[in-house]
Amino acid sequence: MLIKKLSELLGRRIEICNEISEIETMRRGTLNEFYYNSTLKDGTVKKRGPFYNITYSGKDKKTVSKSVPKKDIERMKEETDNYKKFRELSDEYVDVCETIAVLTRSDDEAKKTKSNGRIRS
Protein backbone atom coordinates (compact mmCIF):
# COMPACT_ATOMS: atom_id res chain seq x y z
CA MET A 1 0.00 0.00 0.00
CA LEU A 2 2.82 2.38 0.91
CA ILE A 3 4.57 1.70 -2.39
CA LYS A 4 1.35 2.32 -4.33
CA LYS A 5 0.78 5.65 -2.55
CA LEU A 6 4.41 6.64 -3.07
CA SER A 7 4.26 5.85 -6.80
CA GLU A 8 1.01 7.86 -7.08
CA LEU A 9 2.68 10.82 -5.37
CA LEU A 10 5.73 10.59 -7.62
CA GLY A 11 3.42 10.50 -10.64
CA ARG A 12 1.45 13.50 -9.39
CA ARG A 13 4.69 15.44 -8.84
CA ILE A 14 5.54 14.94 -12.53
CA GLU A 15 1.99 15.92 -13.59
CA ILE A 16 2.24 19.14 -11.57
CA CYS A 17 5.53 20.04 -13.29
CA ASN A 18 3.94 19.37 -16.68
CA GLU A 19 0.91 21.54 -15.84
CA ILE A 20 3.16 24.38 -14.69
CA SER A 21 5.22 24.15 -17.89
CA GLU A 22 2.04 24.62 -19.95
CA ILE A 23 1.45 28.07 -18.46
CA GLU A 24 2.85 30.45 -21.04
CA THR A 25 2.07 33.84 -19.50
CA MET A 26 0.98 34.98 -16.08
CA ARG A 27 0.57 38.18 -14.14
CA ARG A 28 0.24 38.85 -10.42
CA GLY A 29 -2.69 40.85 -9.23
CA THR A 30 -6.40 41.28 -9.33
CA LEU A 31 -8.34 42.66 -12.25
CA ASN A 32 -11.01 45.10 -11.06
CA GLU A 33 -14.06 46.53 -12.81
CA PHE A 34 -15.45 49.82 -11.56
CA TYR A 35 -17.92 52.55 -12.41
CA TYR A 36 -18.29 56.12 -11.29
CA ASN A 37 -21.13 58.61 -11.25
CA SER A 38 -20.90 61.84 -13.16
CA THR A 39 -23.20 64.80 -12.61
CA LEU A 40 -24.28 66.48 -15.85
CA LYS A 41 -24.95 70.22 -16.23
CA ASP A 42 -28.69 69.66 -15.83
CA GLY A 43 -28.09 67.94 -12.45
CA THR A 44 -28.79 64.39 -13.56
CA VAL A 45 -26.38 61.71 -12.51
CA LYS A 46 -25.02 59.35 -15.13
CA LYS A 47 -23.19 56.13 -14.41
CA ARG A 48 -19.89 55.91 -16.34
CA GLY A 49 -17.96 52.75 -17.09
CA PRO A 50 -17.04 50.06 -16.88
CA PHE A 51 -13.40 50.94 -16.35
CA TYR A 52 -10.72 48.43 -15.42
CA ASN A 53 -7.53 48.37 -13.42
CA ILE A 54 -5.11 45.78 -12.16
CA THR A 55 -3.92 45.91 -8.57
CA TYR A 56 -0.86 44.08 -7.23
CA SER A 57 1.92 44.32 -4.65
CA GLY A 58 5.02 45.95 -6.04
CA LYS A 59 8.60 44.96 -5.26
CA ASP A 60 8.63 47.30 -2.26
CA LYS A 61 5.38 45.65 -1.00
CA LYS A 62 3.36 48.77 -1.78
CA THR A 63 0.07 48.33 -3.61
CA VAL A 64 0.25 49.33 -7.27
CA SER A 65 -2.81 49.99 -9.40
CA LYS A 66 -2.70 50.53 -13.14
CA SER A 67 -5.48 51.20 -15.63
CA VAL A 68 -6.17 48.56 -18.21
CA PRO A 69 -7.52 49.43 -21.67
CA LYS A 70 -10.69 47.54 -22.63
CA LYS A 71 -8.83 45.85 -25.49
CA ASP A 72 -6.49 44.15 -22.96
CA ILE A 73 -9.12 42.90 -20.49
CA GLU A 74 -9.39 39.32 -21.79
CA ARG A 75 -5.61 38.90 -21.90
CA MET A 76 -5.21 40.32 -18.39
CA LYS A 77 -7.98 38.06 -17.08
CA GLU A 78 -6.26 35.01 -18.56
CA GLU A 79 -2.87 36.05 -17.18
CA THR A 80 -4.17 36.67 -13.64
CA ASP A 81 -6.06 33.34 -13.76
CA ASN A 82 -2.85 31.63 -14.88
CA TYR A 83 -1.01 33.10 -11.91
CA LYS A 84 -3.67 31.79 -9.51
CA LYS A 85 -3.36 28.36 -11.10
CA PHE A 86 0.44 28.55 -10.78
CA ARG A 87 0.15 29.36 -7.07
CA GLU A 88 -2.27 26.48 -6.48
CA LEU A 89 -0.01 24.05 -8.35
CA SER A 90 3.07 25.32 -6.49
CA ASP A 91 1.36 24.80 -3.13
CA GLU A 92 0.27 21.30 -4.17
CA TYR A 93 3.83 20.53 -5.32
CA VAL A 94 5.18 21.43 -1.88
CA ASP A 95 2.50 19.28 -0.20
CA VAL A 96 3.31 16.30 -2.44
CA CYS A 97 7.06 16.65 -1.86
CA GLU A 98 6.59 16.89 1.91
CA THR A 99 4.43 13.76 1.89
CA ILE A 100 7.04 11.93 -0.18
CA ALA A 101 9.70 12.98 2.32
CA VAL A 102 7.66 11.59 5.22
CA LEU A 103 6.95 8.32 3.43
CA THR A 104 10.55 7.76 2.36
CA ARG A 105 12.35 8.51 5.61
CA SER A 106 14.15 5.52 7.03
CA ASP A 107 12.90 3.41 9.95
CA ASP A 108 15.75 4.75 12.10
CA GLU A 109 14.58 8.31 11.50
CA ALA A 110 11.00 7.34 12.32
CA LYS A 111 12.11 5.70 15.58
CA LYS A 112 14.06 8.82 16.58
CA THR A 113 10.95 10.97 16.28
CA LYS A 114 8.96 8.83 18.74
CA SER A 115 8.78 10.20 22.26
CA ASN A 116 6.49 8.97 25.03
CA GLY A 117 4.25 7.16 22.57
CA ARG A 118 3.79 10.25 20.41
CA ILE A 119 5.32 10.95 17.07
CA ARG A 120 7.06 14.29 16.72
CA SER A 121 7.41 16.02 13.42
Do 52 and 115 meet the contact criterion of CB atoms below 8 Å apart?
Answer: no
pLDDT, tens digit, for every residue of 23-63? 999 999 999 999 999 999 999 999 999 999 999 998 888 99
End-to-end CA gap in the chain:
22
**In one letter, which amino acid is 101?**
A
Number of domains in the chain: 1
Q: Which residues span the domain enclosing 76?
A: 2-119
CA 95 remoteness from chain centre: 14
Residue 113 has pLDDT above 90, yes or no: no
Helices (H), the chain: 2-21, 73-104, 107-112
pLDDT, tens digit, for every residue of 64-85? 999 999 999 999 999 999 999 9
pTM of the model: 0.74
Tell whether omega for the bond before 69 is within 30 degrees of 0, i.e. cis.
no
Task: Give dist(CA 22, CA 34) in Å, integer.
Answer: 32
